[in-house]
């Protein structure tokens, strides 16, 4: 009774199995064509992707940067230093003798000319010593004629003795004189010769006495000259002169004199820049206090470097007729040098490579990035003047931090800048 439902269930199960597992055979048995299987959507998209990437991938993967074409210009260069003003001359005027100051003191800041008396000292007995030295000189000079007369007299006696000696010698030859007479004439000639030598010694002693007396007079006069301590050159007093009544010993300070017109600007040039400076070059400076501008000329460039800093001293002479520039003021100095080819670039375009070298990144004709080191010449409100680039340089001004040398980029060009 229940066989029919079971057979029906088996038939339905068989039909379903054939429709799933053997569908193509079933469709062919029934006389129907099976449609072609559709490719999965993912495979279709994958197959189409290569053709699309061939045209679009390079532009999508390249980093976009902004590039500016820069052309070098001839720029007047300058060596920049930081220095200070310095007096042309400064000296501590000191005493050369010991005495009491008898002059009223001059106050610091006073103007003095060369030869002006700064300190006057008490002469004491120096004038008397001078008179004594002069008297001794007169006495020594008076002895000189007597000494010369003695020399003349001794030379005359020597001549007479020689004549007598010659006469005695001839008489002996002719047999008219004895040998004793000849010996006496020889002794007289020797005595006359000794007399001449003594007279000449007396003359030399008289001349030496005169020279000694003259030296004593000169010493006494010099000692009196030292009683007035005078300014060696025109300038200003940097300190008060010695006070009235004070005792000055040799080497004691009378006052300090300083010369400020013209004044010097002193700086120190590094050895990498010294070859760019020449004596006679024009220079300018700006004082740190007040910003006053100065102009002058290089008058000295050291030939020897400082052993500690390896820098070279340079001096610039600047007029200072009104004495408004003081000694020791800080100044920013610019010394003119020969012009060089340079590029004006935005300060933001500079970067560092992996070695820490300052430079910029360029692009070549194939849009490949390259790094070029630069040296800064001058900073201006419009940018930075640098050297070290080719005459025409394609500089990356935006995006340089996202690329490295050897990478190809997609540049966007800015207008030409000169």
Tell me whether residue 32 is exposed, middle or buried, using C-beta atoms within 10 angstroms of its C-beta: 0 to 12, 13 to 18, 19 or more: exposed
Gap between the Cα atoms of 393 and 111, Å rounded: 60
Comparing CA positions, the residue from 300, 322, 329 lying closest to residue 313 is: 300
**Cβ distance 154 to 190 under 8 Å?**
no
Gap between the Cα atoms of 96 and 131, Å rounded: 21
Q: Quick one: pLDDT at residue 201? A: 87
Gap between the Cα atoms of 378 and 334, Å rounded: 11
Question: Global pTM?
Answer: 0.56
Residue 27 pLDDT exceeds 50: yes
Gap between the Cα atoms of 91 and 8, Å rounded: 137
259 — pLDDT class (breaks 50, 70, 90): very high
Does the domain spanning 258-336 belong to CATH 2.40.30.170?
yes
For residue range 264-316, what is the model confidence (pLDDT) as tens digits?
Answer: 999 999 998 898 898 999 999 999 988 899 999 999 999 999 999 999 999 99
**Cβ distance 386 to 347 under 8 Å?**
no
Gap between the Cα atoms of 17 and 34, Å rounded: 17
Separation in Å, CA 12 to CA 34, 73, 227, 359: 22, 96, 149, 84
Residue 146 pLDDT exceeds 60: yes
For the range 369-377, what are the long-range contacts, defined as Cβ-Cβ under 8 Å and sequence gap of 24 or more? 369/396, 369/403, 369/404, 369/405, 369/406, 369/407, 369/408, 369/409, 370/405, 370/406, 371/404, 371/405, 374/345, 374/350, 377/75, 377/77, 377/340, 377/342
* Overall fold of domain 63-77+340-413: 2.40.420
Gap between the Cα atoms of 187 and 161, Å rounded: 9
For residue range 100-135, what is the model confidence (pLDDT) as tens digits?
Answer: 999 999 999 999 999 999 999 999 999 999 999 999
């Amino acid at each position: 009774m229940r066989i029919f439902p079971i057979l029906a269930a088996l038939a339905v199960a068989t039909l379903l199995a054939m429709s799933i597992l053997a569908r193509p055979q079933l469709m062919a048995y029934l006389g129907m064509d099976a449609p072609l299987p559709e490719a999965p959507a993912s495979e279709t998209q994958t197959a189409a992707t290569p053709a699309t990437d061939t045209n679009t991938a390079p532009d999508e993967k390249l980093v976009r940067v902004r590039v500016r074409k820069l052309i070098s210009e001839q720029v007047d260069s300058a060596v920049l230093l930081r220095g200070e003003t310095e007096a042309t001359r400064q000296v501590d005027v000191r005493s050369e003798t010991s005495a009491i100051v008898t002059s009223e003191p001059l106050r610091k800041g006073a103007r003095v000319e060369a030869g002006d008396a700064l300190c006057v000292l008490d002469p004491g007995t120096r004038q008397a010593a001078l008179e004594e030295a002069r008297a001794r000189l007169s006495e020594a000079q008076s002895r000189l004629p007597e000494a010369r007369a003695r020399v003349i007299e001794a030379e005359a006696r020597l001549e007479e003795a020689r004549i007598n000696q010659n006469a005695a010698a001839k008489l002996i030859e002719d047999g008219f004189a004895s040998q004793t007479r000849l010996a006496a004439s020889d002794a007289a000639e020797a005595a006359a010769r000794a007399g001449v030598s003594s007279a000449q010694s007396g003359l030399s002693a008289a001349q030496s006495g005169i020279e000694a007396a003259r030296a004593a007079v000169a010493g006494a006069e010099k000692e009196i000259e030292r009683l007035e301590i005078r300014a060696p050159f025109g300038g200003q007093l940097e300190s008060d002169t010695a006070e009235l009544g004070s005792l000055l010993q040799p080497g004691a300070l009378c006052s300090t004199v300083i010369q400020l017109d013209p004044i010097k600007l002193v700086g120190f040039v590094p050895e990498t820049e010294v070859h760019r400076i020449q004596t006679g070059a024009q220079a300018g400076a700006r004082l740190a206090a007040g910003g006053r501008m100065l102009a002058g000329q290089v008058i000295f460039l050291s030939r020897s470097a400082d052993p500690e800093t390896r820098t070279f001293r340079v001096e610039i002479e600047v007029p200072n007729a009104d004495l408004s520039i003081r000694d020791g003021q800080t100044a920013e100095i610019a010394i003119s040098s020969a012009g060089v080819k340079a590029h004006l670039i935005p300060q933001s375009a500079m970067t560092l490579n992996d070695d820490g070298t300052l430079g910029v990144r360029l692009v070549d004709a194939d849009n490949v990035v390259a790094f070029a080191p630069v040296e800064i010449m001058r900073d201006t409100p419009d940018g930075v003047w640098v050297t070290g680039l080719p005459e025409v340089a394609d500089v990356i001004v935006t995006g340089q931090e996202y690329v490295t040398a050897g990478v190809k980029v997609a540049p966007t060009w800015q207008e030409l800048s000169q």
